[in-house]
Structure 1
Amino acid sequence: MGVKTIFTVCISFLIVYITVTADAVSESKYVMKINRTNSDNKNSANLNNNENGNENDSNKRSFLPPDLYQITMALEVLPKGLCKNDSRAVLEAVISREKWALKIFDSSPKFPVGMLYGSYYQLGNFDECISVQGKLPDYDRKIQGKYCLADVTLDNEKENRIARSHGYYHNRVSSSRNVFNSTLRWAICVPSSCNSQEIEAFLGELFSNAVSYPIFTIEAPEINCYYEKYIPLTTLEIVFGCFAGIFVVFVVLATIYHVLRVYRSTRSINYSISNQNKPNTYQEILLSFSLVQNIRNLLRVKSSDLNLNCICGIRFLSMFLIVSSHSLLFVIVGPVLNEDFQIEAVQKPQNAILLNHPLLVDTFLLISGFLMCRLLLLELEKRNGKVNVLALYIGRYLRLTPSYFVVIALYCTFLVRFDSGPLWNKVISTEQNRCMTSWWANILYINNYVNTDNICMFQSWYLSADTQLFVLAPLIIYPLWKWPRIGETLLALSTLIAAIIPFVITFVYDLDPTTLTFPAEMIDITTNPYFAFAYIKTHMRAIAYCIGLVAGYIVHKLQSSNTKLSNSLVRISWILATIFGLSAVFSITVFYLPEHEFSTLESAAYSSLHKIAWSVSIGWVIIACLTDNSGPVKKFLSWSLFAPLSRLTYSAYLINGLIELHAYGTVRSAVYMSVHNMASITIAHFLLTFTAAFILCILLESPLHNLERMILRGGPRQQQKQQQIVDNAKL
């Protein structure tokens, strides 16, 4: 941001917002004159009948200190009404040293702090403002504080030109769009009777008197404002609340039943629905909801029949890094004291793994493709090709959707009531409105192509992409089993097309090589053009899934034929996988360096090649682990602790967005970014996410999964086996 512009804005705010302290007001000779001159006129008529510049009001303004005089003059632009009258009442109360009135001024920032250091949020004191409840003795209205964040947007073209001259980023990036924050978010505390138009008019008048030329626009939409008020429950909230309450009561009763009745009959709570002495159907349904049952299932450490334990480690570690990248992203786009820290951090290679967070999501797509191919090929061999694909699709839908739907319902109902804060209304209300509009696209798993401008749950695109690829996968896997040559050709062709698509689209539309983290473009990631056009699209993500299919097919062929890889091939593969993986991760740093102006061709090549390199690297790790060619890597990834943690990844995926939105919406002051602080925030968000995931899993996901397995167990044995594919191929 330009130094001259910032200096001008600072001076403007200094003129506008300096507030006299209580002692200064009481001791001012001007106030003494006001009290002497107008002692007989301080009543409610003064507040409601001075619109035409009567003599007493004119005299009063002439004796006001400059700061209050500026505010008084700015009030003249307001239309007749409650806002104008209440604001004048506040001024009277300030003169009278009323504590509640002084709170209104005290909670608003007086002078911008740290703007030259990248602090663009001047938040004031949110809780002090909304706590205001005041009334003048001679005024018949109760005045309540209303907190608003006004967006003061500076001239983007001028600011980007100045930023480029400072060399923060290379010319290609900073010239193509606004990657720098050109909006100041300035808190103001006003009477609750003031609407957004009146606040904008008031601030506009103040700024126009202070600045000789226009350098900004001012917006204070109602969604940026908050004051305490009663909001009755909606019908949807009542229905959802009743459902949630009944469900929780049922879980409690099931747990009590498990502990009392089963313990009394067996003298042990280690009683499972899989025991030989099985309960009847009704008891089994009840036990499906038992916390004891579901916690034990969650913590169970069991060796996989197919030696897939290493997948647990990859799943958990990837989710940990995804949660970390989400937490850091929400910090840097929110109120911070030192934005320069982020500008420097993105140019450091050690931060590349978090900057390249799309690759972490690709890891889950690769695992999904691998498990789908490996397990479905086994079922095709066992059933001689008689696999009910429709049952496979239905099983996946039933496996994923109930928990997903409940979280969406939470977004649509009670989420907005959970808390409050300077950014709460704007962030949470916006998210709620999107979910109310697009919930149906989510549960149909098409929201990465439909209603992308109103996507509900910013992370939900993954489920849609994964599900769409899951539906298409049998079209490749079945030919691999039935006609291997044709299937291999089809798989190779699909992988080639999936690799070419990102290159072509990136080149034709001159896109970024991947998601580049610029705070101004990430404030609302769902409105980011790259996010909606490329990041969430299945065709831009399919390469990881296809390479997962290839890895699954290779493992299937090797294990079916008991083929052993030669030591030289294993060593070469590990070397190449390491080079590919490190190159894919750390090469992103060059796109942030100011001296490196990348071309469209370079961007397109990276868009495709880094996905391929990363997927090949992770694919080899899985192949090596399952063919006993990984040594200590397999031992680490198969660590028993990873098994229960990996079972929480789906619930963690669903709940993490809520954790991040809550932290972002309730922040009361700007964060100082440092390695220590960012690490602390990351660990805290990880613990919160997995704690909430644990609760969601044992209360909702596990009980519904148990019921689903009961239903399928009553059907053909083929469906029971196919359920294993669904269970393993989920997030």
Structure 2
Amino acid sequence: MGHFEQCLSAKAPFLTQYCLASITANIPKPAASRDHLSLDFKPYDSIFQRLYKYNDVSQQSRNVIKMGWCVPASCSILDLEEYLNNYLNKTDNFIRHNNNVTYTAQFSSDLCQNAVEAQYFDNVDISFCFLAVLLIVLVIMATAYDYVKTGRELDEKPFKTHFPDPSYYMVSVAESLSSKLIMAFSARENFLDLTRADESNPSLSILYGVRTIAILAIIMDHRFGTFISSALLNFNYVELQYRSSIACLLFHGDLFVDTFFVLSGLLVVYSLLNQFDKRRMNPGFIILLRYIRLTPVYAFVVFYYATIFNHTGYGPLWKVVAGGDSKDCRKNWWTNLLYISNYVNADHMCMTHSWYLPCDFHYFIIAIGLCLLIKKEKKIGLGTLLVITLTSVIVPFALTILYQRPALLYFYPEFLTGPKVHTDFLLTYSKTHTRATPYCVGMFAGFLYYKLKGSDLHVCRTKSFGIIAASLCLMCVAVFSGKVFYDPYHDYNAIESASYAALHRFAWAVGSVGLLYVTSFGHASFMRKILSWRPWIPLSKLVYGAYLAHMQFQLRSAARFMNPRQITYFDVMALSLSDMVLSFLTALCLYLMIEAPFRRIFRVLLFPSRESPPKTVTENSTVAENMINNNNHPQQDSRL
């Protein structure tokens, strides 16, 4: 890679630029045959056995290298390609002369950078900075106002006790609208809400821990993927891991996203059925509340990706890894805010990991209709949900056979270096109609929790252990059977691949619900104590922000590689822990600046009759109020 920083800071009479040239050695097929799927090479075999590009997507190409060049910025891409190709074709060497090896050089504008373009801020970048500063100032001023107001009330309390005045009480109780809007940004009030838990249904308190543990696993999995997508020296080690049984936990970590789909379906159905017991609401209004709850902080993060994120670092791979995402956010931000990014311009999606949000939003809309049908005609509603569940299983089965696709999305280099344009990501991984199975299973679980609310059900010890064993078995089969398809010696069978594609997410979802059921109502006190641990409460309320923010740290790290590195599990784990800390700290800032304040503001505007947000979700509160208030309790919060 050379010395990137030295190149851009070189003192020369002309502007310099750094470019990474891709040089491909066009190697003839070796005469001696070998097992091209094997990772073992005999030390006395020809080097061309190792360098030849065999048809195995799990192996990194050894015939392509990238070489750092420091050249004048006035040199165009065509100039550089022409010069280097001429040099390679004219230079004679032993390998080229005796083995008929030729070389081809390619340059790309995304792999060329100069010092000037990295310093340029446009009006959009400045607009984001202005917005961020404005929000910070509002939080500081509102917090100061809150402390002054609280101190004044404490000072005036003795006076109110000895000299009661009806007009005084009327003024003090009836807060003005402006005061409420200012208090919405109070960091003190919003921070206190983080530690408040809902106790109306103790059986759902375990969801605090489930959500937090699931997001930690996703962050670790994404760190592993972004590390592999960068420049590595020991990619042979990664190739061995693709064939390892233990590594399936990392290469099949997408199942933890299915856990969130299960939780989302459970919570939405449970909340809506409770709401419809009190009174029916306009479905359009419920969808609006969902939108204004999710979107403010989401829009802010998208705005950040489209602007300042591109200025947070530099490196040889910056424009490809980080700059590409920023460019896509500038162009396609509107698809994210309309929750259609997994269908419209999906190959240039802003924030690749955000594909989850449109899926969840679409399922939420469907869940409203199903809950209304269940309340009106229970058997018809549950039957319709069953049909939708079966359809969600059949769809990936049919697509896999129709397009002859693999059983799962392989985390091979071709995907990790270009996930947005990968065929399987666009066809089955990120689409709403292919990922609905866990959400449907979660909706059945939500109906079950709704029916058991307030009951004294307690699953006996024998049944508890039986359900736990069966659930763990299903989940382990869903994860570790993926090794069969990662084995390059395993012959492709369309029916087999389609069956796994259709059923492994269903198995994971059913296993997850089984564990939740026993933990809530059975003999699983150890699991219940762990998942109901009080520190999970504030962390679980920051999960949404952590999910939105965590990839920026990982993409930045991958794009900042100045030289190839070696990968080890210890390094990945260490970096994952730092990602977790940084992600939750960022989520806390987003919560205090945007998420909690805007929910308070919308609550004041939409529900003016409530003088102040309730400290806990009560049975008398409507789902609409719970969806928009500050508490973010698991019973009504089905987001990540």
- Distance in 2 between the 1:692 and 1:163 partners? 52
Structure-1-length-normalised TM-score? 0.76
Tell whether 2:72 aligns with 1:191.
Answer: yes
Call closer, same or farther: CA 1:368–1:403 in 2, change over 3 Å.
same
1:128 counterpart = 2:6: yes
The separation in 1 between residues aligned to 2:522 and 2:35, in whole angstroms, is: 53
Does the alignment pair 1:218 with 2:105? Answer: yes
Structure 1 segment 87-236 matched on structure 2, within 5 A: 123-134=1-12, 142-155=13-26, 165-168=36-39, 175=55, 180-181=60-61, 183-210=64-91, 211=96, 213=100, 215-229=102-116, 232-236=120-124
Cα deviation 1:301-328 (Å, max 9, x = unaligned): 5545453221111111110011001111
Match of 1:657? 551
Counterparts of 2:420 and 2:492, CA distance in 1: 25
Inter-CA distance 590–157: structure 2 relative to 1 (3 Å threshold): farther
Q: What is the distance in 2 between the residues matched to 1:595 and 1:486?
A: 47
- Say whether 1:329 aligns with 2:225: yes
Confirm whether residue 369 of structure 1 aligns to residue 265 of structure 2: yes
Asked if 1:550 corresponds to 2:444, the answer is: yes
| 1:668 counterpart SS class | coil
Cα distance in 1 for residues equivalent to 2:131 and 2:300: 10
Q: What is the match of residue 339 of structure 1?
A: 235
Is residue 585 of structure 2 the alignment partner of residue 691 of structure 1? yes
1:147 match: secondary structure: strand
Q: What is the alpha-carbon distance in structure 1 between the residues aligned to residue 418 and residue 349 of structure 2?
A: 11
Residues 371, 725 of structure 1: 8 Å contact kept: no
1:248 matched to 2:136? The reply is: yes
Q: What's the offset of the Cα at 1:164?
A: 5.8
2:243 matches 1:355: no
CA, structure 1 residues 205+702, in 2 after alignment: closer, same or farther (shift >3 Å)? same
Which of 394, 416, 421 is the aligned partner of 2:315? 421
* Alignment partners' CA distance in 2, 1:176 and 1:322: 27
Name 1:47's counterpart in structure 2: none
Please, which of 393, 400, 404 is the counterpart of residue 499 of structure 1?
Answer: 393
Mark the CA change 1:578 to 1:337 in structure 2 (over 3 Å): closer, same or farther: same
Q: For 2:174 and 2:318, locate their aligned partners in 1 and report how far apart those are by CA, in whole Å.
A: 50
Give, in whole Å, the separation in 2 of the partners of 1:303 and 1:157: 70
Q: Which amino acid aligns with 2:568?
A: S
Q: Name the structure 2 match of 1:259.
A: 147
- Which amino acid letter does the alignment assign opposite residue 220 of structure 1? F
CA distance in 1, matches of 2:413, 2:424: 14
* Structure 1 Cα separation of the partners of residues 173 and 523 of structure 2: 42
**What is the CA distance between 1:380 and its match in structure 2?**
1.2
Deviation at 1:630, TM superposition (A): 2.7
Structure 1 residue runs of 5 or longer lacking an equivalent are 1-122, 135-141, 269-275
1:400-438 per-residue CA deviation (whole Å, 9 max, x = no partner) reads 111111111112222212221111122232212211221
Code of the residue aligned with 2:150 in structure 1: it is: V
Render the CA deviation track for 1:684-730: whole Å, top value 9, x for unaligned. Answer: 22222222222222222121122122223226999953242575122
Distance 1:506 1:529 in 2: 12
When structure 1 is superposed on structure 2, of 221-230 and 640-649 the one drifting more is 221-230
What is the identity, as a one-letter code, of the residue corresponding to 1:543? T
Match 1:283 to one of 179, 184, 190: 179
Deviation at 1:631, TM superposition (A): 1.9
Q: Distance in 1 between matches of 2:564 and 2:265?
A: 42
Q: Which amino acid aligns with 1:149?
A: L
- What is the match of residue 728 of structure 1? 637
Q: Give the count of matched residue pairs.
A: 589
- Describe how 1:545-624 pairs up with structure 2 within 5 A: 545-559=439-453, 563-624=457-518
Note the 1:56-71 alignment, pairs <5 A.
Answer: none
- For residue 188 of structure 1, report the CA deviation from its aligned partner: 0.9
Describe the SS at the equivalent of 1:146: strand
SS in structure 2 opposite 1:419? coil
Which letter does structure 2 place at the counterpart of 1:218?
Answer: A
Deviations 1:371-412 (A, max 9, x none): 0111111111122xx122111100010011111111111122
- Alpha-carbon shift at residue 607 of structure 1 (Å): 0.9
**Cα distance in 2 for residues equivalent to 1:459 and 1:426:** 17
Q: Deviation per CA, 1:528-575: give whole Å up to 9, x if none.
A: 111111100111100000000111112222336655545443332222
The alpha carbon displacement at 1:156 in A equals: 9.7
Counterpart-to-counterpart distance in 2, 1:550 and 1:699: 36
Change (3 A) 1:228 1:473: same
Counterpart of 2:567 in structure 1 is 673
Decide whether aligned partners of structure 1 residues 278 and 147 sit closer, same or farther in structure 2, where only a CA change above 3 A counts. Answer: farther
Shift in CA distance, 131/652, structure 1 to aligned 2, threshold 3 Å: same
Secondary structure of 1:459's aligned partner: helix
TM-superposed CA distance for 1:265, in Å, is: 3.5
Which is further off, 178-187 or 338-347?
Answer: 178-187
Q: Which has the larger radius of gyration?
A: 1
Counterpart for residue 706 of structure 1? 600
Closer/same/farther in 2, CA of residues 679 and 178 from structure 1, 3 Å limit: closer
What is the rounded CA distance, in whole Å, between the counterparts of 2:68 and 2:287 in structure 1?
A: 51
Q: Which amino acid aligns with 1:288?
A: A
- 4+ runs of 1 displaced by more than 6 Å? 715-719
What's the secondary structure of 2:247's corresponding residue? helix
The residue type paired with residue 483 of structure 1 is E
CA distance in 2, matches of 1:697, 1:601: 47
| Deviation string, structure 1 residues 583-607 (Cα, Å, up to 9, x no partner) | 1111112222244334222211111
Describe the shift of the 1:485–1:292 C-alpha distance in structure 2 as closer, same or farther (beyond 3 A): same
Whether the 8 Å CA contact 1:154–1:216 is kept in 2: the answer is: yes
Letter in 1 for 2:639: K
Answer 1 or 2: higher relative contact order, Cα 8 Å, separation at least 6: 2
- 1:135-172 CA distances to partner (integer Å, 9 max, x unpaired)? xxxxxxx133311111224559969x999615249xxx
User: Does the CA-based 8 Å contact 1:480-1:486 persist in structure 2?
Assistant: yes
Deviates more, 1:672-681 or 1:449-458: 672-681
Is the CA contact (8 Å cut-off) linking 1:164 and 1:174 kept in structure 2? no
Query: 1:674: how far off?
Result: 1.5
The DSSP-based 3-state class of the residue aligned with 1:189 is strand
CA distance in 1, matches of 2:34, 2:582: 37
Task: Note the aligned Cα RMSD (angstroms).
Answer: 2.7
Q: Which runs of 5+ in 2 are unaligned?
A: 41-52, 157-171, 611-618, 629-635
Distance 2:27 2:507 in 1: 38
CA distance in 2 between partners of 1:700 and 1:354 (Å)? 33
* Aligned-partner SS, 1:357: coil
Name the TM-score, length of structure 2 as normaliser: 0.86
* SS, match of residue 254 in structure 2: helix
**Secondary structure of the equivalent of 1:728?**
coil
Q: Name the % identity.
A: 27
Distance in 1, Cα, partners of 2:218 & 2:428: 19
Structure 1 residues 278, 175: closer, same or farther in 2, change over 3 A?
farther
